[in-house]
């Protein structure tokens, strides 16, 4: 492991805005702030918004800056990436943003039912070959039900035509209430200060002419969720290109693969 990563991990252990709980820690001790995020982490009662697969944390930070009346938590397993957002929170003394280093499959171990108002999923790996790893699949939506309030909101922001169409079909098949939907966020005129927050990777997609898609919907706490037929959805044609290849006009997905 490089010295830079080791330095980042050391700093992360000192950041007050970062909570690190790998699976082994959960099994041994559990999570002490479950149900107590507002009272013991933020020390302020406010709606809680979670960004899953937050990467560098730019969206979590941007959301917190934009709306001080909400509390924001970025969740990711990759600490070296999360360091950037956490350092910004520390440097700017942003009091309504925190980061949780954990696996998304264990999300119910960190929140009690109804503790979370809203979830953002920003530019995840579309997992075109593996439904069970897709962050908007019924498997993951059932995880989210364990923490969301009734009819809590799910927001997906993605460059992937495949993931957008898959999620759109899932929402339609299950009769979920759509709050916003567009396959061209900036061309549609629907962009607002929140949806216009741009991460490092979103800026890369835009520079390559990729359209950004958004779908927001409400998730009921019960009722069976059905998987849509996705066999006929065209696969994205730029998934396998080298991420930082200067000779390439495309780039690889940046999202986490959660196993």
Catalytic positions are: 125
Give 158's contacts (C-beta < 8 A, 6+ positions apart): 121, 122, 123, 124, 126, 164, 212, 213, 214
In the 3-class helix/strand/coil scheme, how is the chain assigned residue by residue? Answer: CCHHHHHHHHHHHHCCCEEECCHHHHHHHCCCCCCCHHHHHHCCCCCEEEEECCCCCHHHHHHHHHCCCCEEEEEECCHHHHHHHHHHHHHHCCCCEEEEECCHHHHHHCCCCCCEEEEEEECCCCCCCCHHHCCCCHHHHHHHHCCEEEEEEEEEEECCHHHHHHHHHHHHHCCCCEEEEECCHHHHCCCCCCCCCCCHHHHHHHHCCCCCEEEEEEECCCCCCCCCCCCCCCCCCCCCCCCCCCCCCCCCCCCCCCC
Q: Is 207 buried (19+), middle (13-18) or exposed (0-12) by CB count in 10 A?
A: exposed
Q: Is 31 buried (19+), middle (13-18) or exposed (0-12) by CB count in 10 A?
A: middle
């Amino acid at each position: 492991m490089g010295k830079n990563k080791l330095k980042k991990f050391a700093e992360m252990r000192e950041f007050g805005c970062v909570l690190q709980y790998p699976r082994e820690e959960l099994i041994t001790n559990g999570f002490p702030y479950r149900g107590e995020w507002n009272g013991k982490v933020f020390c302020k009662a406010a709606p809680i918004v979670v960004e899953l697969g937050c990467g560098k944390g730019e969206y979590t930070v941007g959301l917190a800056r934009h709306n001080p009346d909400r509390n924001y938590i970025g969740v990711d397993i990759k600490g070296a990436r999360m360091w950037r957002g956490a350092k910004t929170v520390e440097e700017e003394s942003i009091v309504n943003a925190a980061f949780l280093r954990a696996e998304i499959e264990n999300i119910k171990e960190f929140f009690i039912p109804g503790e979370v108002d809203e979830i953002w999923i920003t530019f995840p790996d579309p997992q075109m070959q593996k439904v069970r790893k897709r962050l908007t699949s019924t498997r993951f939506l059932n995880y989210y039900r364990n923490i969301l309030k009734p009819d809590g909101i799910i927001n997906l922001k993605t460059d992937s035509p495949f993931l957008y169409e898959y999620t759109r079909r899932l929402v339609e098949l299950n009769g979920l209430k759509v709050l916003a939907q567009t396959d061209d966020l900036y061309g549609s005129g629907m962009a607002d200060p929140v949806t216009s927050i741009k991460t490092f990777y979103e800026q890369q997609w835009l520079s390559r002419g990729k359209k950004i898609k958004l779908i927001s919907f409400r998730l009921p706490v019960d009722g069976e969720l059905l998987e849509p037929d996705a066999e006929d959805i065209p696969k994205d044609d730029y998934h396998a290109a080298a991420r930082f290849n200067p000779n390439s006009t495309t780039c690889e997905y940046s999202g986490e693969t959660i196993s």
